């Protein structure tokens, strides 16, 4: 399954959710990190990449025809196909190659979580067009509602189904706010609390795991179950 993690506004924690969801899907798919079933998170934000990079070829190289998708996948606690950070790399990348890239990773690993660019730029629509379904990420702030609604409409236009909505940094959110998001977007809402370990997970390269006594862990696990159910 190819799942696009999208949001209308930058800074809402979209990359953090994608990274930790990739870990949760790997845990739910197999108890062994070396198993053939392993979710891969693809950083498709060509100009503002956030996922851990490391050495070796990256998505810029793949989209420029300099590397094949599978050799660019980095294996660690979370398997990641990272994106380069250079402007020259972004300019050389051909978005027309993204669909074949993501599908090649899906054939090898089974689940692909695509961290999409924020906003309504053309490069934000390409992952949504490729994906089987999407997960929208927002904060509960009122000004964020319009942005995520626009992303929902773009996904609908591209025939990308919606499996759920994540409200990040959502502490003590009133029930009416959650109901507003569910009514406007037509999908169940998962609230993730403000969480230091979750916020640092990209920087440390350590996603929340099933054994972590952390308030966000159970919610991410249930979110992975929702994605699993959508796959079937």
From the CB of residue 123, how many other CB atoms can be counted at a distance below 10 Å?
A: 17
DSSP for 157-206, written as a single string = HTT-EEEEEEETT--S--HHHHHHHHHHH-S-EEE----HHHHTHHHHT-
Lowest-confidence range among 16-25, 63-72, 134-143?
134-143
Which DSSP letter does residue 74 get? B
Residue 31 in this model has a pLDDT that exceeds 50: no
| Contact of 131 with 143, CB cutoff 8 Å | no
> What domains can be seen in the chain, in order of their start residue?
2-230 (3.40.50.300)
What integer is the mean pLDDT of 197-207? 91
Q: What is the pLDDT of residue 35?
A: 44
Q: What is the pLDDT of residues 76-125, one digit of tens each?
A: 889 999 999 998 999 999 999 999 999 999 999 999 999 999 876 667 78
In angstroms, the CA 103 to CA 114 distance is: 11
């Amino acid at each position: 399954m190819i799942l696009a993690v999208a949001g209308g506004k930058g800074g809402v924690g979209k990359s953090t959710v994608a990274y930790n969801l990739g870990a949760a899907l790997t845990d739910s798919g197999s108890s062994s990190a070396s198993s053939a079933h392993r979710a891969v998170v693809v950083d498709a934000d060509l100009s503002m990449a956030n996922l851990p990079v490391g050495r070796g070829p990256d998505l810029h190289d793949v989209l420029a025809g300099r590397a094949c998708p599978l050799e660019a996948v980095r294996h660690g606690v979370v398997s990641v196909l990272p994106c380069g950070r250079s402007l020259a790399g972004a300019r050389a990348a051909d978005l027309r190659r993204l669909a074949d890239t993501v599908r090649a990773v899906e054939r090898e690993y089974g689940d692909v979580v695509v961290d999409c660019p924020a906003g309504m730029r053309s490069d934000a629509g390409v992952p949504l067009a490729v994906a089987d379904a999407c997960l929208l990420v927002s904060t509960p702030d009122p000004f964020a509602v319009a942005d995520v609604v626009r992303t929902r409409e773009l996904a609908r236009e591209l025939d990308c189904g919606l499996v759920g909505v994540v409200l990040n940094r959502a502490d003590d959110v009133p029930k009416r706010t959650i109901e507003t998001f569910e009514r406007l977007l037509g999908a169940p809402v998962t609230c993730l609390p403000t969480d230091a370990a979750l916020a640092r997970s990209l920087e440390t390269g350590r996603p929340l795991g099933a054994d972590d006594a952390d308030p966000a862990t159970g919610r991410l696990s249930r979110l992975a179950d929702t994605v699993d159910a959508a796959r079937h």
